């Protein structure tokens, strides 16, 4: 920050958070299995994610709508796994305040506390808590207001002390309806595909930078695939009985990339990207040898970017008149600037006790991660949160069991220029998950990706109103034209000029001073 003076109006403008709040509502969906799915014997895993969420502000109300996609993995009485997927409409509203044209809406929606109950072999009831969080940012400009009327000459004789600050502003962009088709070939050691049971996805945007088209981005969609394969028959009799099924899983990263049209004159300090899967389809395909060893995955996604900039702005710290006495009113203004931005990965290894010793083989592992807090300690940023892990175990004889547990997350990054008083924006994703099990324990390996930006928080006092007393002139003809002044060490010219109702420039010219501080043991202060 630095100080500067002048005699013309300048606005102090900054992005200010005018609203921040969350709301929750419960979603319940009853579902009857379609004819092509067999009866449920045991529920193994339940998951849910929000898709196609739209939002808009109508007056003092935020309205939203979309769908929640439930995915229920279960075991049949015949020792097979199946997955039932169904959607439920989601809509609602929450009160907000401060939104105007030109303001930015930061919207986040998540499905939490997902459960499913079996009402019968073919009837399911799924529930989830829908958590909606919104923040509204508006550009606020503060310009001192003068009480009473001033002539153009009187206004020109007002002196201003400005503080130059660096404050953050932001822009948001999005592109909806992107499509990707990817063929995944099985490694040679894995069995061929009989049926794809489920595909769980997580998204991570690790790069977003300015380009000729606006913003270019790169990221990955992590596909966690569970499929079945027919057991090889040892004889004709076993083949006639179909021999049962084997189950295998694999994790693959599918790249996403492209450009987002963005009209901006500034180079972003950092853009935090986010991708949402809106449609997902998959099917097995045969390779050139006629073997079912290719998994074709098609999906649509929306890409979002929140871009942050640091811009120079000015705030009026003090005002005085060369003509009249005046009084100022001050207000405390809050602002922030971008301090640090980074993307990084880290690994987590967890071990849980296996309370069901007979289920000693892990078939499938999926996980989701969330960062719940970011703190600063000894020059480091400390990220803490949790991963929700779901592991499917089998005894090898057609019986399965689902295990769910929470793994604490902790990661560190260099704080850089992040101050002690800071806020942050962060996204996280699981880009790899795998488990190993025996009769005693379940070991899980996770790789977590984090993208974040930190903001330093500041406050400053600014003049919001100045009252000029036109009945109290500050100059009288009998006063001397100059004053001999003996400054103290490092005394600023502004205070001297204000005291004697002159200008800093006048003092500089009279004394050959080039800076903002008085020099020498004595200076001449010319008066108006």
pLDDT tens digits in sequence order for the chain, 528 residues long:
455 554 444 456 777 888 999 999 999 999 999 999 999 999 999 999 998 889 999 999 999 999 999 999 999 998 899 999 999 999 999 999 999 988 888 888 999 999 999 999 999 999 999 999 999 988 877 778 888 788 999 989 999 999 888 888 888 899 999 999 999 999 998 999 999 999 999 999 999 888 888 899 999 999 999 999 987 655 555 444 445 788 999 999 999 999 999 876 656 678 899 999 999 999 999 999 999 999 999 999 999 999 988 888 888 999 999 999 999 999 888 888 999 999 999 999 999 999 998 998 999 999 999 999 999 999 999 999 999 999 999 987 889 999 999 999 999 999 999 999 999 999 999 999 999 999 999 999 999 999 999 999 998 899 989 999 999 988 654 556 788 999 998 899 999 999 998 999 999 999 999 999 998 889 999 976
- pLDDT reported for residue 232: 67
User: Residue 187 carries which DSSP code?
Assistant: P
Each residue's pLDDT tens digit, 5-55? 544 444 567 778 889 999 999 999 999 999 999 999 999 999 999 988 899
Is residue 197 left, alpha or beta, with left meaning phi > 0 and alpha meaning psi from -120 to 50? alpha
CA distances from 194 to 226, 368, 384 (A): 11, 27, 41
Dist CA 492 CA 490 (whole Å): 6
pLDDT of residue 82: 95
**Contact at 8 Å (CB) between 48 and 73?**
no
C-alpha–C-alpha distance, residues 493 and 475, integer Å: 20
Closest CA to 185 of 66, 316, 288, 51: 288
421: left (phi over 0), alpha (psi -120 to 50) or beta: beta
pTM of the model: 0.85
pLDDT at 241: 46
* Averaged confidence pLDDT in the chain: 90
Q: Which two tokens stand for residue 375?
A: 């703190």
Name beta bridge partners: 325.
469
How many beta carbons lie within 10 A of that of residue 444, not counting itself? 23
CATH 3.10.350.10 residue ranges of the chain are 479-528
**pLDDT attached to residue 79:** 87
Q: How is domain 479-528 classified at the CATH fold level?
A: Membrane-bound Lytic Murein Transglycosylase D; Chain A (3.10.350)
Q: What is the structure's pLDDT at 16?
A: 81
């Amino acid at each position: 920050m630095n100080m500067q003076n002048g005699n013309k109006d300048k606005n102090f403008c900054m992005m200010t958070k005018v609203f921040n709040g969350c709301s929750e509502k419960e979603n319940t969906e009853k579902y009857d299995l379609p004819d092509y799915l067999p009866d449920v014997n045991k529920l193994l895993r339940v998951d849910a994610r929000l898709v196609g969420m739209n939002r808009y502000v109508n007056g003092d109300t935020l309205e939203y709508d979309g769908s929640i996609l439930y995915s229920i993995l279960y075991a049949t009485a015949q020792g097979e796994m199946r997955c039932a997927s169904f959607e439920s409409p989601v809509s609602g509203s929450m009160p907000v305040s401060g939104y105007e044209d030109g303001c930015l809406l930061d919207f986040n929606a998540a499905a939490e506390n997902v459960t499913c109950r079996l009402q019968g072999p073919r009837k399911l009831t799924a529930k989830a808590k829908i958590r909606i969080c919104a923040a509204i940012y508006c550009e606020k400009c503060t310009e001192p207001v003068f009480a009473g009327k001033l002539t153009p000459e009187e206004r020109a004789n007002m002196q201003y002390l400005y503080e130059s600050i660096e404050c953050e502003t932001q822009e948001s962009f999005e592109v909806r309806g992107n499509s990707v088709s990817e063929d995944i070939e099985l490694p040679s050691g894995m069995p061929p595909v009989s049926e794809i049971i489920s595909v769980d996805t997580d998204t991570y945007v690790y790069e977003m930078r300015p380009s000729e088209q606006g913003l270019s981005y790169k990221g990955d969609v992590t596909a966690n695939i569970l499929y079945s394969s027919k057991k090889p028959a040892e004889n004709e009799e076993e083949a006639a009985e179909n021999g049962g099924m084997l189950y295998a899983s694999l994790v693959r990263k599918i790249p996403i990339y492209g450009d987002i049209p963005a009209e901006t004159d500034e180079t972003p300090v950092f853009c935090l990207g986010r991708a949402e899967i809106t449609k997902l389809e998959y099917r097995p395909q045969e390779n050139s040898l006629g073997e079912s060893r290719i998994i074709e995955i098609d999906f649509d996604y929306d890409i979002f970017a929140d871009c942050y900039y640091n811009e120079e702005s000015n705030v009026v710290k003090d005002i005085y008149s060369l003509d009249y006495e005046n009084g100022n009113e001050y207000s405390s203004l809050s602002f922030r600037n971008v301090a640090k931005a980074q993307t990084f990965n880290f690994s987590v290894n967890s071990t849980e006790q296996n309370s069901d010793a007979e289920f000693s083989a892990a078939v499938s592992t999926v996980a989701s991660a969330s960062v719940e807090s970011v703190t600063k300690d000894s020059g480091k940023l400390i990220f803490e949160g949790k991963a929700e892990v779901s592991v499917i175990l089998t005894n090898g004889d057609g019986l399965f069991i689902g295990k769910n547990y929470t793994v604490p997350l902790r990661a560190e990054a260099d704080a850089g220029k992040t101050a002690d008083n800071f806020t942050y924006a962060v996204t996280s994703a699981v880009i790899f998950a795998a488990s190993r099990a025996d009769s005693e324990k379940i070991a899980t390996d996770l790789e977590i990706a984090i993208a974040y930006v930190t903001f330093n928080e500041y406050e400053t006092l600014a003049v919001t109103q100045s009252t000029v007393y036109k009945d109290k002139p500050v100059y009288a003809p009998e006063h001397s034209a100059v004053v001999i002044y003996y400054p103290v060490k490092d005394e600023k010219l502004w205070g001297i000029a204000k005291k004697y109702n002159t200008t800093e420039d006048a003092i500089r010219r009279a004394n050959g001073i080039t800076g903002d501080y008085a020099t020498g043991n004595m200076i001449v202060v010319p008066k108006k």
